[in-house]
Structure 1
């Protein structure tokens, strides 16, 4: 072991007072020693490879953490270090006991704050600590619940204190995050270290999540066997959105946003395609003041108007209750020993950071005298106020802080600056000490609180960095509780004993999810069709005859370039000038912009961005294979965007890769979700978009009659962009002519790429929508599609191919295509108005002042 220690820890030791792996005599602790023995067998190269495997798995599974204003993009990959964090079960039992006690105390505090307020009346807690905190919501006063415990889910941030014990650093009670990431970390580590798992007695997480699911079911105010449970998310741009989607997928509950829910007659409903569906339990990831724009922040678009009234009537359970943010108050920490004595008549089991509330004269004087040695926090960080590390402040900054404290002393609490313990982090073939914080979770059970045997460990991004924060680039670790005996994993097939009996369908599909499925179909169809057309045009430009001259004078290319603008909608584009006067460089510049300019409406990049937004919003529905293909698409696109020396050949190669991945993605969609669970909406969007783009292509290329040679080349290009050239040749075995092309692309009922096939499929799919099945009378969208299909079926390919008297325009074809385009546009509007209308808004009678 000494040899491995010397090799891996030669640069490890620092002046830190406590390291999790080593004793005071620099001996490796027992459980860590066993882990290092396993690592020794794996070797440096093996550990590096396993870290690479972890990175690959997280990327393949799309595990992200959203960082606001990150120049590298919104969805930052989640980081998990190959070295786990270990804790002996005996020590964990003491921590677990303390967490249960603390959760119990805070539950009592929450009840008291919105109930009798004995803590204030008895002088245990100064009233300013409560009333000056924006987490105290007067609208929640005296609300009664049908459950014994109000704090159903609690999280504590722990760090090793100067006495070698784990101390509580922060309490989390509104919507504690991290459970999903902890589960994903365990899943990933288990796959990469299956051999190590078999050798060590690691406590499993499955029983905790079974109990968590039971908690949600039992929380229902109406004790029914199968309550409707939803997970309320702020949306795909929230920093922990991956976790929201992950838990929704893992637990099998709908992931909803505020606009998916509505209050009617004192009850909460989810808007689904079939209408309103009663909701009994909401697991919320939306902060308190944003939860109800009717009674709380009126500018919130994240919550549900009237939600608080439904809670007040005891018709829905919200986990955790609205108003529980008051517990995330460091001003309470100095008074926790007295609170514990008041409620439980006992001492705190878990120590906490020494804290001084500045609203008391003696404590304030101490803080002001030692300002440069302490950590100063506002008791209320709902506005993301800064934490001040006194030792890092200049004399001018210290004086400014002193003035601020003296101005509003009740607003600040000072804490002892402790040096977090360090834990090993594997980096570039060596182990480095990193400051760490562990987040652990407790949930209310029938016999008290149950604690997750592990949790989420975060370490600082760099050595000697004292700030441990995901927003600042921190790294996570799997949290292993090591027992004395081997623990068998609980079977997972029966843990969801109650809700598993129901089969979800369209009535379980939130309206926003349905809308995103619909637009995901439209955007993926638009991306594929436009990418194929642009690839075809680039191939024409790259042809030998195009290189033979500086200016493009070929009639075919002129028509195709103008068609690029018409099909993509990137006006004015090639429509603003005579393309015969454009140089090859000018043409390539415009085509590159049509491909890569994200800010240009209609560009391929713009369409890809909208497709990505739709996809992220419903990622809880997709399979892991779909995510992998999606990530491959993103890589192709990112590589294309950063390419400095773009050429036609490079663009064609990238489009080839993109098209192939898109086709694979579209194939996998059908394997991820059942038709009646939402895939129907994707199909409708896809068929509608492909039909509309087929019409646009034909209008751009077929309506104006060209010379015989140019027309032949345009028809060939159209068939090529439609992936129909081989089908045409096989079917007709003749010179390419306008009439059979119209017949194949527009009117052939048996050809899956034809407009008639799209309209026929669209008729069948929209007939399965809920409102369509309710009545024998056609809905408007059904009428429009029926009229479009009938008009196309009644048309004659021969008449459509004929030009008017002057021989320049196929007027009958143009009129038909214009009519069909208008009908499909009306179809889209009718579907949106019927199923995706989220404009209903309630507002407050009296403004509430909740500053941002």
Structure 2
């Protein structure tokens, strides 16, 4: 049938006659913003009832409507029907609104049977009380006779074998790409934290020298892990780089960014992978008390990052989604290795700076087994930048990126 209930009467205050009508009936209408949710100038997420305002706020509302009526609408206050809800062991009446759906067909608009209703949490039956916090319920239309069943699911004996789930949505590809970048960037920050606060090489018992520490701090400032102020004040630089909530480049901020990104990818990540990301965020949020705690948290988080990399490498299907995740990791690793090399493998670099570079790119064992010498500039540069067999070299990342792009 044609709809029998009229729309709720609404007046746009941008027209003089409508504005005068609203101001004359101010206690009988609800005021709402014309272009956005809430009322301009008032801290509200929904309509405002002038009858419930004190004298000062009421006058402020009148002045605002008079000055810029175009920003406001007045709406008739209607009372809603109620339905029973089960609450604390009792059936209690609660106001509700019914939402139905209309479908465009070749023969015109058709109202679909059923729908859903929004149920207010308060007993106030006025329509303006239907704000945030309302619950929802499906509305079913019960037939008085048997209804034929229909399903779009395929018959079990006619399932086609599929090895690719389908086209990867662009949003999922983007999220996977940035998940890889955030986690790799967090790993680079953690490696710098570890290098700054722990022995810089296998045969050294002291932390990085002042010159090497200066270079590490320069990198941490450059990518937002610490501020220039904290760098000048020294103190707990490693703690800020580890868990500074206001620093976008801190390990905590990066892992939280990865967690937010992973939230929209839950159906593409295994429970183990999700658990690793969650545990990293929880560990880094726990306040550290001293330098030893900082290093311990950094070490444990690096181990968890390695766990995630292993899960992605061994458990994730090699479809386009995995490639975008790995592309993000490879791009970020290439950038970070290049930055490390520029800082610590400069032309006059000494043993300590080269040793720190080998630690940052996780190549200490490889270098010692190949050369049996203290760090020398040319071999260290080759290992970090050009060695195609080293999974942390820039060359390895470029080769892998080319393979992914060719496959895509």
User: Cα deviations across residues 166-219 of structure 1 (Å, max 9, x unaligned)?
Assistant: xxxxxxxxxxxxxxxxxxxxxxxxxxxxxxxxxxxxxxxxxxxxxxxxxxxxxx
User: Cα deviations across residues 679-704 of structure 1 (Å, max 9, x unaligned)?
Assistant: 55554443232123223323434445
On the 8 A contact 2:191/2:360 being kept in 1, the answer is yes
Aligned twin of 2:331: 688
Deviation (angstroms), 1:761: 2.0
Aligned twin of 2:104: 444
What is the number of residues matched between the two proteins?
379
Aligned twin of 2:34: 381
Q: Distance in 1 between matches of 2:275 and 2:59?
A: 50
Deviation (angstroms), 1:654: 4.0
Aligned CA distance change for structure 1 residues 481 and 751 (closer, same or farther; 3 Å): same
Aligned twin of 1:594: 241
Aligned twin of 2:159: none
Matched, 1:625 2:269: yes
Aligned CA distance change for structure 1 residues 760 and 489 (closer, same or farther; 3 Å): same
Aligned twin of 1:752: 391
Matched, 1:457 2:94: no
Deviation (angstroms), 1:569: 4.5
User: Cα deviations across residues 696-742 of structure 1 (Å, max 9, x unaligned)?
Assistant: 323434445546xx57xx73x6555444456667x55x856425765
Aligned CA distance change for structure 1 residues 516 and 632 (closer, same or farther; 3 Å): closer
Counterpart mapping for 1:337-736 below 5 A: 348=4, 351=5, 355=9, 371-372=26-27, 374-377=28-31, 381-384=34-37, 386=39, 387-398=47-58, 412-418=73-79, 421=82, 424=85, 436-446=96-106, 448-451=109-112, 453-455=114-116, 457=118, 459-460=120-121, 467-470=129-132, 474=133, 476-479=135-138, 481=140, 483=142, 490-492=151-153, 520-540=179-199, 554=206, 556-558=208-210, 560-570=212-222, 587-597=234-244, 599-600=246-247, 602-605=249-252, 607=254, 615=261, 623-625=267-269, 629=273, 633=277, 636-637=280-281, 640-641=284-285, 643-644=286-287, 646-656=289-299, 658-663=301-306, 665-666=308-309, 667-668=311-312, 671=316, 674-675=319-320, 680=323, 682-703=325-346, 704-706=348-350, 715=355, 718-725=357-364
Aligned CA distance change for structure 1 residues 760 and 572 (closer, same or farther; 3 Å): closer
TM-score, structure 1 as length reference: 0.35
Provide the secondary structure at the position in 1 that maps to 2:343: helix
Aligned CA distance change for structure 1 residues 647 and 396 (closer, same or farther; 3 Å): same
Segment of structure 1 superposing worse, 687-696 or 620-629: 620-629
On the 8 A contact 2:183/2:305 being kept in 1, the answer is yes
Aligned twin of 1:227: none
Deviation (angstroms), 1:513: 7.7
User: Cα deviations across residues 132-156 of structure 1 (Å, max 9, x unaligned)?
Assistant: xxxxxxxxxxxxxxxxxxxxxxxxx
The RMSD of aligned alpha carbons is: 5.5
Q: Which stretches in structure 1 are left out of the alignment for 5+ residues?
A: 1-96, 103-347, 495-499, 547-553, 770-852
RCO higher in structure (CA 8 A, sep ≥6): 1
On the 8 A contact 1:621/1:673 being kept in 2, the answer is no
Q: Distance in 2 between matches of 1:697 and 1:481?
A: 63
User: Cα deviations across residues 333-389 of structure 1 (Å, max 9, x unaligned)?
Assistant: xxxxxxxxxxxxxxx1xx4576475999999999777643x33245x7214452332
Deviation (angstroms), 1:421: 3.1
Deviation (angstroms), 1:591: 1.8
Counterpart mapping for 1:100-115 below 5 A: 101-102=2-3
Q: Distance in 2 between matches of 1:353 and 1:574?
A: 57
Deviation (angstroms), 1:532: 3.2
TM-score, structure 2 as length reference: 0.64
Q: Distance in 2 between matches of 1:443 and 1:645?
A: 58
Aligned CA distance change for structure 1 residues 488 and 628 (closer, same or farther; 3 Å): farther
Provide the secondary structure at the position in 2 that maps to 1:623: helix
Q: Distance in 1 between matches of 2:169 and 2:393?
A: 31
Q: Distance in 1 between matches of 2:225 and 2:62?
A: 60
Segment of structure 1 superposing worse, 597-606 or 357-366: 357-366
On the 8 A contact 1:595/1:604 being kept in 2, the answer is yes
Q: Distance in 2 between matches of 1:587 and 1:396?
A: 52
Segment of structure 1 superposing worse, 756-765 or 644-653: 644-653
Q: Which stretches in structure 2 are left out of the alignment for 5+ residues?
A: 40-46, 156-161
Matched, 1:761 2:400: yes
Provide the secondary structure at the position in 1 that maps to 2:129: coil
Deviation (angstroms), 1:450: 4.7
On the 8 A contact 1:629/1:661 being kept in 2, the answer is no
Q: Distance in 1 between matches of 2:358 and 2:73?
A: 71
Deviation (angstroms), 1:451: 2.5
Provide the secondary structure at the position in 2 that maps to 1:556: coil
On the 8 A contact 1:596/1:604 being kept in 2, the answer is yes
Deviation (angstroms), 1:626: 6.1
Aligned CA distance change for structure 1 residues 560 and 685 (closer, same or farther; 3 Å): same
Counterpart mapping for 1:767-782 below 5 A: 767=406
Deviation (angstroms), 1:449: 2.0
